[in-house]
Amino acid sequence: MPTVPIERAPNRRVGLLIADPNPTLLAIIAHAGTDFVILDAEQTSLTVSQCAGAVQQLRGTGVHVSVRVPDLEANTLVAFANTGVQALVLPHLRHVEELEQAARAVRYAPEGRRSRQVSFASGFGTDFGEPPTLSVLFETVDAVDHAADFAASEAFGGGWLGTTDLLSDLQRVGRADGNALDKAIQHVVDTVRGAGHSIGLPAPSASRADEAFARGADRCVIYWERELASLLAAYAASRNA
């Protein structure tokens, strides 16, 4: 299916976070020329098998595919890496050692401990080259405080801000006064971008993606299910207009 050519501003990418990657939605994403998709397997019913199907459907379309994994266990990381996904988004990190441990889990020897399994990721046993990129989800106070350490690690493949959970963690440690969340977000954006890496922010809606870029991020993600729910609610409300 041909994609629709779209104009992109330099170094700006917009994509979707989705928890239900059904074939029709994936076909629309590819047809629209969407920059990237993050498959949300954290605290959802999304399985490794479903992620594998989405990765295979989008292969060759130009859509970059990531998975937000449910935990940092080595077996979990390897299972999702074997789907052939291009990047793993790691939640709830606090220290750079956790990132480097994850890198060892998904890399083949001699850099890591990953078995040379026959899978889609390895070209069914023909290519044990590139492991998935590891992206840090900055959603804890510790991760924010150690942003420079993460950005300096050779295992760091960019970051995302998890603003909702970050606010909760700021409240938990008694650091949520005033504009503390905004300061924490800007600190991470400035630190990561200053180190030459990519950083992404969630947008409140598709129409407000520019707000992420205004803060210095080069990627913006839209929560698809929330966006769709808002759209349908607006349609429903139009009955009373």
SS3 letters for 110-170? Answer: CCCCECCCCCCCCCCCCCCCCCCEEEEEECCHHHHHCHHHHHHCCCCCCEEECHHHHHHHH
Question: What value does the mean pLDDT take over residues 53-79?
Answer: 97
Q: What percent of the chain is predicted at pLDDT more than 90? A: 88
Question: What value does the mean pLDDT take over residues 140-152?
Answer: 98
Question: What value does the mean pLDDT take over residues 32-61?
Answer: 97
Domain annotation covers residue 212: yes
- Give 3-state DSSP helix, strand, coil % of the chain, rounded to 5: 40, 15, 40
Domain annotation covers residue 74: yes
Split at pLDDT 50, 70, 90, the class of 240 is: confident
Q: What is the pLDDT of residue 97?
A: 98
Q: What is the pLDDT of residue 238?
A: 87
Q: What is the pLDDT of residue 2?
A: 41
The pTM of the whole model exceeds 0.85: yes
Instruction: Tell me which of 10-19, 99-108, 131-140 is least confident.
Output: 10-19
Split at pLDDT 50, 70, 90, the class of 129 is: confident
Domain annotation covers residue 79: yes
Question: What value does the mean pLDDT take over residues 15-42?
Answer: 97
Domain of residue 88 covers 13-240
Domain annotation covers residue 6: no
Domain annotation covers residue 193: yes
Domain annotation covers residue 5: no
Domain annotation covers residue 2: no
Q: What is the pLDDT of residue 9?
A: 54
Query: Ramachandran region of residue 164, left (φ > 0), alpha (ψ -120 to 50) or beta?
Result: alpha
What SS3 state is found at 33?
coil
Structurally, the chain folds into a number of domains equal to 1
Separation CA 208–CA 220 (nearest Å): 10
Q: What is the pLDDT of residue 5?
A: 42
Q: What is the pLDDT of residue 1?
A: 39
Q: What percent of the chain is predicted at pLDDT more than 70? A: 95
Q: Which CATH number characterizes residue 44's domain?
A: 3.20.20.60
Q: What is the pLDDT of residue 10?
A: 58
Domain annotation covers residue 19: yes
pLDDT in tens, 159-210: 999 999 999 999 999 999 999 999 999 999 999 999 999 999 999 998 999 9
pLDDT of 121 > 60? The answer is yes
Question: What value does the mean pLDDT take over residues 93-111?
Answer: 97
